[in-house]
Structure 1
Amino acid sequence: MRGRWALADLTVVVLVAAAIAVFAMIDRSGGGGRSPLETTVGTGSPGRAVPAGFLGLSLEYPGVEPYAGGNPAAIDPVFLQLVRNLAVPQPVLRIGGDSSDWTWWPVEQMARPPGVAYGLTPRWMSVTRQVAEALGARLILGINLEADSPELAAAEAQALIAALGPSSVQALELGNEPELYGAFPWYRTAAGRPVTGRSSHYDFDAFLSDFMRIAGVLPQVPLAGPSVSGPGWSRQLGRFIAAEPQVRILTLHHYPLQLCFAARHAPSVAGLLTPAASTGLAESFGPYAALAHSHGRQLRVDELNTVSCGADPTVSQSFASALWVLDALFEMVRAGVDGVNIHTFPGAGYGLFSFRHKHGSWSATVAPEYYGLLMFAEAAPAGARLLPVSGGPLKVWATRGADGRIRVVTINKGGRAETLRLRLPGASGAASLERLEAPSVSARSGVSLGGFSFGARTFTGVAAPRAAAVPASDGRFTVSMPAYSAALLTVRGG
């Protein structure tokens, strides 16, 4: 996601065209006299299991200390808790993004390359090690490829592994979105002239040669890549696999909306709620997941969020982002993706949280999108299997966990309320229900999950949603679905 950030593909056109019909007259109070929608869950063979470590975060190198603090002996406990809420016991944290190619570990007798703007320090290393140890995290660490220096890359990789510990490093990821190296500036001269990291003719063959040359000097740990976005270079994944046996995690990026060329197709709340932004997005990764698995590799979308190429808080900080990410993550599981890292950094338009340290205490402001991640984490624990669901106008996802519980998520992305009647063969006893709601689809505050909200600021990061009991009637559970809302129904399986 360059600033320079990910170029859009034809998906954007589909999103805008599909968005026209999203907003109807809103009736949030009930089903408006319409007959309940009938949905059956769980008949047929269970589907794919949710992989361990599926939901992770993606951070920038300069963003670690603003989130975690600069004191290795006193890591920000609110940040740690907000990560734990989403992924237990071993979250996968990717540290990289744009800053992968702007960062180095200073090398003796080597001048700082002109495109390097951030230097790793012993304090950064200590803070990050404490974060990884406190969370039990596995790290995917970006290594500078754009500098085109084997010496720089080797020094950076060796320093990271030595300081953070080999057991914390899941993989080293070489570069970030190299398809843009010839198009977006790596740095600007003192006179303001933009300078790209590669020529405008830089292509996949040249990248593959660079990758193999740099990979050859790195420590013998698993690699991740190619860290590309958009369909062009993604189609070269088979060649990449064949050329680089040390790569164990194949990484791709995507944002459903973009600001890169937004004059005609500006991001919108409506566009974020179209099928193309969730179903279409995930389905585009399906063939790559199958290819990865056929070669014994994982496919990880290790950079995902709402809008690329800059800040757009009107969309990215709206409640729509919570409904979008909840649906998109389930779609990714179904498509065969092995993991997703939601990108966030201080000042990002789509940032998940921001932190403040005042009078010795940490606190955080939590964005609406985070609530969607919370509901997904609760509904899709590691090892839970997707259950088949009969079709209908609402998005319905169901899982059966290792604890035997059936969890059903219903998402109403429409502007009118509905009533859903769920049939769950084999379910026993009453169910519990949590709602994900906000004052409006565009709301940037007032979001709640199970009646719980972090409010304007949280000093703990602890989430405490409350569930309401829902009795069964004739083997069915009736759930009212206000416009632009989601619900999680949990019941014991038979």
Structure 2
Amino acid sequence: PYAAVARAAGKPYRISEINSVRCFGEPGVSDAFEASLWLTDVLFEYVKLGAAGVNIHSNIWNKVHGWDAHGAFLFDIPQRQYRSANSHVQPPAGYKFTNQYQLRKVLPLYYGMLFFAEATANRARLIPVEHNSPARLKIWATKDQVSGQVNVTIINKDTAVSGKILLRLPGYSAGEVKRLVAPSYKASDGITIAGQTFDGSIDGHPIGNAYAETVQGNGGVFEISVGATSAVLVKLTKRVP
């Protein structure tokens, strides 16, 4: 209803704050790989509703969950910032303040943000998808407004079932596949996008060599394997006359 009210008033509809669990997230959920898959899917849902943007909640400390709130990142902070905030939350034993803000850890939510961003780059527009897949499998498609490339995002939320998907897109002949995967849906480490991870990164740059699988269509039909609790981004290009 809020989106309809905004449209009627000629105003953009924007989500001012969101997290996998209200406010500051929840340990074991917001810092687990399942949050990556959830966020990728929910961002597409908001696009479908016509949202102009979504603000992902993030913080450093809070009175509910203590020092580490569960947003997209964890940072080490200068002591002057802690003092100026007049916070009553005590740092963990042995915590050492830094001279400047410093990345400590990239959390699973950011992987979901990054995966969604690649699937919707260049103001890509949602295009209709028809499928008869199980309820725990979500499929979204966008079309790049610059290149005409079609991006198909497949999100498998089932913890046990894997399989193959047949994509039918007449006129498209080849593409590449990138995967968002982790050791398990409860993992907080070992998450990768196209083979790269932020585990151990101190500057926000991914670690490892990026790679994508190539896929060839047969009459516009592409066979894509999808693992349990994982996401796949398929980028398809048109056949050259």
Asked if structure 1 preserves the Cα contact closer than 8 Å seen for 2:19 and 2:71, the reply is: no
CA distance in structure 1 between the partners assigned to 2:52 and 2:101 by the alignment? 37
Secondary structure of the 2:17 match is strand
Question: Are 2:188 and 1:468 equivalent residues in the alignment?
Answer: no
Match of 1:482 in 2: 227
1:387-410 CA distance string (max 9 Å, x none): 111122221101001221111100
Match of 1:378 in 2: 118
CA distance in structure 2 between the partners assigned to 1:421 and 1:290 by the alignment? 35
Asked if structure 2 preserves the Cα contact closer than 8 Å seen for 1:364 and 1:461, the reply is: no
1:474 Cα deviation (Å)?
3.4
Question: Are 2:17 and 1:303 equivalent residues in the alignment?
Answer: yes
Residue correspondence of structure 1 range 8-407 to structure 2 within 5 A: 287-308=1-22, 311-347=25-61, 348-356=68-76, 362-391=102-131, 392-393=133-134, 394-402=137-145, 403-407=147-151
Secondary structure of the 2:13 match is strand
Question: Are 2:148 and 1:434 equivalent residues in the alignment?
Answer: no
CA distance in structure 2 between the partners assigned to 1:368 and 1:362 by the alignment? 18
Asked if structure 2 preserves the Cα contact closer than 8 Å seen for 1:418 and 1:480, the reply is: yes
1:309 Cα deviation (Å)?
5.3
CA distance in structure 1 between the partners assigned to 2:25 and 2:3 by the alignment? 30
- TM-score, length of structure 2 as denominator length: 0.79
- TM-score, length of structure 1 as denominator length: 0.40
CA distance in structure 2 between the partners assigned to 1:341 and 1:363 by the alignment? 20
More helix by share: 1
Q: Aligned in 2, Cα 1:356/1:465: closer, same or farther, shift over 3 Å?
A: farther
CA distance in structure 2 between the partners assigned to 1:382 and 1:437 by the alignment? 24
CA distance in structure 1 between the partners assigned to 2:170 and 2:12 by the alignment? 34
Asked if structure 2 preserves the Cα contact closer than 8 Å seen for 1:384 and 1:399, the reply is: yes
1:357-386 CA distance string (max 9 Å, x none): 769894431011111110000001252111
Match of 2:80 in 1: none
Q: Which amino acid aligns with 2:223?
A: T
1:142-199 CA distance string (max 9 Å, x none): xxxxxxxxxxxxxxxxxxxxxxxxxxxxxxxxxxxxxxxxxxxxxxxxxxxxxxxxxx
**How many residues matched?**
206
Q: Which amino acid aligns with 1:352?
A: A
CA distance in structure 2 between the partners assigned to 1:328 and 1:336 by the alignment? 13
Q: Aligned in 2, Cα 1:341/1:326: closer, same or farther, shift over 3 Å?
A: same
- Over the matched positions of the two proteins, sequence identity in percent amounts to 40
Question: Are 2:136 and 1:422 equivalent residues in the alignment?
Answer: no
Q: Supply the RMSD in Å over aligned alpha carbons.
A: 2.1
1:342 Cα deviation (Å)?
0.5
Match of 2:193 in 1: 449
Asked if structure 2 preserves the Cα contact closer than 8 Å seen for 1:379 and 1:407, the reply is: yes
CA distance in structure 1 between the partners assigned to 2:129 and 2:43 by the alignment? 17
CA distance in structure 2 between the partners assigned to 1:401 and 1:359 by the alignment? 42
Asked if structure 2 preserves the Cα contact closer than 8 Å seen for 1:317 and 1:349, the reply is: no
